[in-house]
Amino acid sequence: MQPLDLQQQSARTWFESLRDRICSAFEAIEREAGSDAAFAYTPWDRVDPSGAPGGGGVRGVMKGKVFEKVGVNVSTVGGTFEGEFAKSIHGAADDPRFFATGISLVAHMTNPHVPAVHMNTRFLVTTKRWFGGGADLNPPIPYAEDTADFHAAMQAACDAHDPAHYPKFKQWADDYFYIPHRGVHRGVGGIFYDHLGNDWDGDFAFTRDVGEAFLSIYPQLVRRRRAMPYDDADRARQLEWRGRYAEFNLVYDRGTLFGLKTGGNIDAILMSLPPLATWS
């Protein structure tokens, strides 16, 4: 992989620092619950199809009392896209060389009343440079208060940069996180954006604010619900909902496909899958 330029290194440094703060916040919640669970970090290296070093990343996973399974991964990879896949990537049809760095997070919770969550932000370079990502809430048992607070946090991050961002990116999330063969949405939405590349400094600042908004709001929701009592029916509802989540990630998720097509670490790519799920 080629040496990183200033923009690439700045993005990589930010994603890694956000990972550190998120993991610390989640471990603090485990301590409050009387658990000593901590993230286990596994580095991995990637080899480009050309045979050259292709970067790599670090897979972080914690299984605790509050977080049944949470993964927080960072990766920085580069090289060339293979074959027809290049044509599906923004700016890569005529030149398959690429660079990508980002953070990806999925949390599956022990208590069915605590919403699961997904967050991903990334910076990609082909013949173009752009940011993408977002965050969406995935409660097995939705609460209007939680949904409203999560969306308010995402809207505040958007409004600080462009009032048009939130309605556009909210609709994008609603359209993207949908399971056509079930006719249902994966969760209660959030924001999703891609190909944001008109103003590097402004787009990077927005991407950082999305990460900060997530770090601010999600631990609040976990603390709000983690001690609520639940019964077998609640757990059954959670496990069936997780089946839907798994279906989306394996059939439709672009991030899963990107990781598999670019030779990423399989365990890191599939860390989004829940530890337990059921299908009726």
Of residues 169, 114, 155, the one with CA closest to residue 137: 114
Give residue 154's pLDDT. 98
- 1's tokens: 């992989």
pLDDT of residue 262: 84
pLDDT band at 84 (very low <50, low <70, confident <90, very high): confident
Report whether pLDDT(19) > 90. yes
Spot the catalytic one: 90, 108, 113, 118: 118
Instruction: Give 178-233 pLDDT, tens digit per residue.
Output: 999 999 999 999 999 999 999 999 999 999 999 999 999 999 999 999 999 999 99
Q: Quickly state the pLDDT bin for 174 (edges 50, 70, 90).
A: very high
pLDDT in tens, 32-52: 999 999 999 999 999 988 888
Task: Map out the domains of the chain with their CATH numbers.
Answer: 6-272 (3.40.1500.10)
Taking 3-state DSSP, the helix, strand and coil percentages for the chain, each rounded to the nearest 5, stand at 45, 30, 30
pTM, two decimals, is 0.95
Q: Is 195 a catalytic residue?
A: no
Res 86 pLDDT > 90: no
Average pLDDT over residues 154-172: 98
> How many CB atoms lie under 10 A from the CB of residue 160?
13
**DSSP H helical ranges for the chain:** 6-32, 144-159, 165-176, 200-225, 232-251, 254-261, 266-269
What distance in Å separates the CA atoms of residue 237 and residue 235, rounded to the nearest whole number? 5
Using the structure block, give the residue that is written with the tokens 């910076």: 123
